[in-house]
Chains A and B, each alone.
Chain A
Amino acid sequence: MLHKRFIISELVRTKKQSLIFIMCVILSIITLVALDGFSESVNRSIIRDAKVQHGGDIIIRSNFPFSKKLAERILSLEKSRQVRTAKTYRFHSVVRTQNSETSLLADIKVVDNAYPLYGNVMLASGRDFGTVLKKGKVVVEKGVLDRLGMNIGDRLYIGKALLLIEDVVNIEPDRPVSFLTFGPRIFVSVSDMDGLGLVTKGSRVKYNCFVKTGKEKLTGLLTTELKALAIEGQERVEAARNMKSRVKRFLDNLIFFLSMIGIFTLLLAGIGIWSSLTAWLKEREETIAIIKTLGGSSRFIISHYLVIAFMLGLVGIIMGIPTGFILQQFLPGLFKGLLPDNIEMIIPTGAALKGLMIGGIVVGLFTFIPLDGLKDIRPVAIFKKESWGTKRGPAFYVIGIIIFFFFSGLVLWEIEEMKIGAFFTIGIIILIVITALLTRFVLGLLKRLSVKSLVVRQAQKGLFRPKNSTGPIIITLTASLAFILSIFLVEQNLDAAFVQSYPEDSPNVFIMDIQPSQKGEVSKHLGGDTVFYPVIRGRVLSINKKTVNVEAERKKKSDNLARVFNLTYRDHLLEDEVIIKGRRMFRDDFDSLQVSVLDHVQEFTDIDIGDIIMFNIQGVKLKATVTSIRSRTRETIKPFFYFVFPEETLNEAPQIIFSALSMPKADVPHFRSRIAGLFPNISIVDITETISRFSTIMHRLSLIVRFFTLFSIVAGILIVISSILATRSARIREAVYYKILGATSGFVLRVFALESLMIGVISGFIAIIISQAGSWIICTTRLDISYKPFIVQSISMAVGITLLVVIVGLVTSISILKQKPVFFLKENAESEA
């Protein structure tokens, strides 16, 4: 039988602790609900707009002209009027003004009359796209006019053709959001394609065919039929509904990463729930002891506090789910520029149910131990002669194991990949264990430290005040700060390695699409030491006769074996390469085909010397034995290849050739114009612009990550407030004693401020050590980049957290400082009486 008035009175008496408990519950689910809702909204928008975004019901793509069987079937379908088709050809090329004074690398899209099958190309003039884009005319993105200083009506060179700029494109229905673009769009009519002279054997042209069926069933049937006709590994046939766009893949990866942060926040909020409930129950220790003295059983007490925890948990979940959805509404702004603009935010039931379930489990798991500990409170506690603490009995360890499996399961559910899930869970456990050990070590040292200054000594003693949650506070703050700092340090190091300190000798200009016959001429214009990099595109079919599982590989978050690789041939190492396995790149005593593999490949598949790899190189199967493993001595933007073949093996294969140069940024436009004039098919890519764009994206992503990581800091702050509330009476007692013995309010304030400062400094100090070590390991072993500690920035972040803790500590202590000694003494005398 529940004593309702007792429950209500307990809730009223512990308003502040109840509030902290509820806030921890809200915090535990807010990020996951928001991310789930956001992800679902984006998915639905992408599926809804799939036909428009992808340009048709069925999309056929290839880097080569379509194979005969496939092309014939497309033609027959078109003739039978069962479907409508549109063809596009995409490639990059340098375009020039009519006088060749300025040039620009542009993204050329050659389209036929049927394009677009879905949606409309919106032009600045408002005219119909089909009527504007005729032979001899082009439609350009505004960036072309701005960057070349041209106007509508001017003419520009694309390859060999001089074409008239007829209009400006505002919206292109099937253009995906792309973060790294090599130039603005130019639409060219298919009737001008041959005249450009740019599409030749080996050119990097993307051949696309869009099929409009208008019927779901027909789409399915035709997709299956066309897939069967396509050359595997070269031609891809997919229904728009099932296509994972670049945006979708990017979003999946980002949401996965943010979900990991959400799970980390969930864990910290769980610790917050545990900590606030423990603090809350300790505050009620005397009441519980009195009830026990009066004959109340542990079962009676636990059931009542269980109801209270359940009620508060429910309130937290009920508030947390809509709060998550409110947060979700702000996410499109945070992701601005990284996702399409037309995403419609929905409130999915699945996300709400998931929030309800996760919130319920977390409340259940993290309230169990404190509630179970109530049975250990003995009636003698009314004499305040013994202190109650959570005993680490079997229940403690069982719950610990359940929590471990719950979080591991949650990670696996989010990412669906065992290896990364295990890495993440183990990583978090290691982080918390190391944090806990270092915290214990530092606190142990501090306890033994002999301090002269009275204020410092009292603050030091305050850390070890009974019921103070100093340990959990430091662990939570440290873990969250270490997490944020590590992300920051890795990002800064990536930035430093690839953006800021871009090595002077590294190439910044790439000369693409050189035909084998042009090597000699190009070499004359680039200089004598020009290095040419031939590229042959191919796929890995099997390793040691074990066929590559394309579906499974594509699901990998890391690099995978199912993609198209850029292969090359040469008989020498590059200057930034070393052999780490094998004597030389290729053996002389070997009759069969050999291949040298870069050690990066070993990170996503097991491969070693002697293994046999089956390649599909443009339809031709090649079996090669691994005779050496190479490694790069430094990570730069210099070209590198996973698979290198001996020169004589592939030099006759269809290939593209590129070269890389280092030159001052100011010289690039002139150089581009000169080369484009001489070799219209050759593209010049200025990587410095790309690096700048890359940097902007990195900072945007970093901002998103930091935003989500802030929630874990909030969990730490809630634990700080909870601890101060739990030790409120002890702090008031201390403050009163100090005042009775002649201390001023300033002294008390200094003691409390210094205590918070110590917590902040210890957390910051340990967080810096852990994050520096962790980031160093990630940068040097996983990313292979040199490591800079960014000490000033790290300390600044730690100081920021410390100040936050001090401010929160002081604000929460203000009412304690205002307490007059006489009230405490009176109350105490009454309780003694």
Chain B
Amino acid sequence: MNILEARDITKTYVIGETGVPVIDKVSLGIPEGQFAVIQGRSGSGKTTLLTLLSGLDKPTSGTIFIKDKDITLLKEDALAPLRNEFFGFVFQSFHLVPSLTALENVMFPAELKNSSKNMKDALHRAESLLKRVDLTKRAGNYPHQLSGGEKQRVAICRALINNPRIIFADEPTGNLDSVSGEAILNLLTDIQEEYRATIVLVTHSIEVAGLADRIVTLEDGRVIEDRSPGTAEKKN
């Protein structure tokens, strides 16, 4: 059963008077609990595909279903609860709210979800998540006081706070050194097992792709390969 399914999606950007297709008739189903990697060269359209799958942007044509619901029909505010409860995001540039501490950043989605209710639970959960990533001592620090690896761990904790069903990660190790990057990848795989979350991860790194259940390769906005590691399934 696919938790996420894109059917024939196309995304075209109009530059001047010319339409440039960035995603070209892509169909993709992600089963629940899968760790799927989307890879490709720079400019292949992998980040655009991630933004479409996660509802951050709308395709020019085609449909995207999240558990039988077509999210391309939803308005911006209707997508908000989906992003808050169903999805978790991890970005290459971390995108932590600069004015909030690490703990406050982690708690933020929970606070949005629960308003002022059950804040104690949210606090405990945020603290335990930070503990899980060895950041208990950094909970009171602001983003600019954290290293890249620490920021990304905070971002992962924030992505997990509401127990999302799908985590979208865009080049999560792109801004990190190899040691920090490896630690983040290990964390993501651990999390996938621990929380049984579905992960859709965009990367251009072959090492990262090696950890996935499935590798989708893009080129010029089209899926040219969709396979499990160690297998090869070419798609025309």
Contacts and interface: CB of A to CB of B under 8 A. Distances in A.
Given A465-B99, A825-B51, A828-B93, A741 B56 contact: no
Contacts of B93: 828-829, 832
Given A454-B116, A462-B99, A822-B56, A741 B51 contact: no
Nearest to B81: A742
A637 B67 CA distance: 85
Most-contacted residue by chain B among A730, A739, A828 (CB, 10 A): A739
A738 B76 CA distance: 12
12 contacts: A458-B99, A740-B89, A741-B84, A741-B158, A742-B84, A743-B84, A744-B77, A822-B51, A822-B57, A826-B51, A828-B93, A829-B170
A739 B80 contact: yes
Interface in B19-77: 42, 47, 51, 56-57, 76-77
Of listed A746, A747, A825, A832, residue having the most chain B CB within 10 A:
A825
Interface string A710-748: 000000000000000000001001101111111111110
Nearest to B85: A742
A745 B76 contact: yes
Contacts of B80: 739, 742-744
Interface in B111-136: 111-113, 115-116, 119
Given A739-B80, A741-B109, 16 more contacts: A452-B116, A454-B108, A454-B111, A454-B112, A454-B115, A734-B99, A738-B97, A745-B76, A747-B112, A822-B56, A822-B57, A825-B91, A829-B47, A829-B170, A832-B92, A833-B42
A820 interface: yes
A348 interface: no
A461 B100 contact: yes
Contacts of A466: 98
A734 B57 CA distance: 18
Interface in A423-454: 452-454
A730 B47 CA distance: 23
A821 interface: yes
Among A458, A462, A747, which residue has the most Cβ atoms of chain B within 10 A?
A: A458
A740 B77 contact: no
B89 A739 contact: no
B7 interface: no
Interface string A454-465: 100010011011
Q: Which 5 A-B pairs have the closest CB atoms?
A: A742-B84, A822-B57, A461-B99, A742-B83, A744-B77
Contacts of B42: 833
Interface string A813-829: 00000001110011011
A466 B99 CA distance: 8
Contacts of A730: 98
A739 B109 CA distance: 10
A746 B77 CA distance: 8
Contacts of A746: 77
A368 B170 CA distance: 44
Given A462-B99, A822-B51, A741 B175 contact: no
Interface of B: 42, 47, 51, 56-57, 76-77, 80-85, 89, 91-93, 95-100, 108-109, 111-113, 115-116, 119, 158, 162, 170, 174-175
Given A452-B116, A737-B97, A832 B83 contact: no
A744 B77 CA distance: 5
A743 to B, nearest CB: 6
B178 to A, nearest CB: 18
A737 B56 CA distance: 11
- Give the interface centre of B76, B85, B162 by most chain A CB atoms within 10 Å: B76
A780 to B, nearest CB: 45
Contacts of B96: 737
Contacts of A744: 77, 80
B187 to A, nearest CB: 20
A832 B100 contact: no
Contacts of B111: 454
Nearest to B95: A737
Contact of A741 (B76, B98, B112): B112
A825 B56 contact: yes
Contacts of A747: 112
Contacts of A734: 97, 99
Nearest to A832: B93
Contacts of A465: 98-99
A162 B105 CA distance: 95
A737 B105 CA distance: 10
A739 B83 contact: yes
A743 B112 contact: yes
B167 to A, nearest CB: 13
Contacts of B83: 739-742
A618 to B, nearest CB: 78
Contacts of B112: 454, 738, 741-743, 747
Interface string A123-140: 000000000000000000
Contact of B99 (A452, A464, A825): A464
Contacts of B162: 742
B106 to A, nearest CB: 11
B76 A739 contact: yes
Interface string A73-116: 00000000000000000000000000000000000000000000
Contacts of A821: 56
B54 to A, nearest CB: 9
A786 B76 CA distance: 59
A576 B113 CA distance: 70
A127 B134 CA distance: 105
Nearest to B164: A742
A454 B158 CA distance: 16
Contacts of A462: 99
A458 B57 CA distance: 25
Nearest to A385: B144
Contacts of A822: 51, 56-57
Contacts of A741: 83-84, 89, 108-109, 112, 158
Which one of A452, A741, A747, A832 has the highest number of Cβ atoms from chain B below 10 Å of its Cβ?
A741
Nearest to A466: B98
Q: A452, A458, A742, A746 — which one has the most chain B CB atoms within 10 A of its CB?
A: A742
B30 to A, nearest CB: 20
Nearest to A461: B99
Contacts of A833: 42
Count chain A CB atoms within 10 A of each CB in B96, B112, B162 and give the residue with the most.
Answer: B112
A453 B116 contact: yes
Contact of B95 (A454, A740, A745): A740
A193 B42 CA distance: 107
Contacts of B100: 461
Contacts of A743: 80, 84, 112
A829 B99 CA distance: 21
Nearest to B99: A461
B201 to A, nearest CB: 15
Contacts of A736: 95
Contacts of B77: 744-746
Interface in A359-398: none
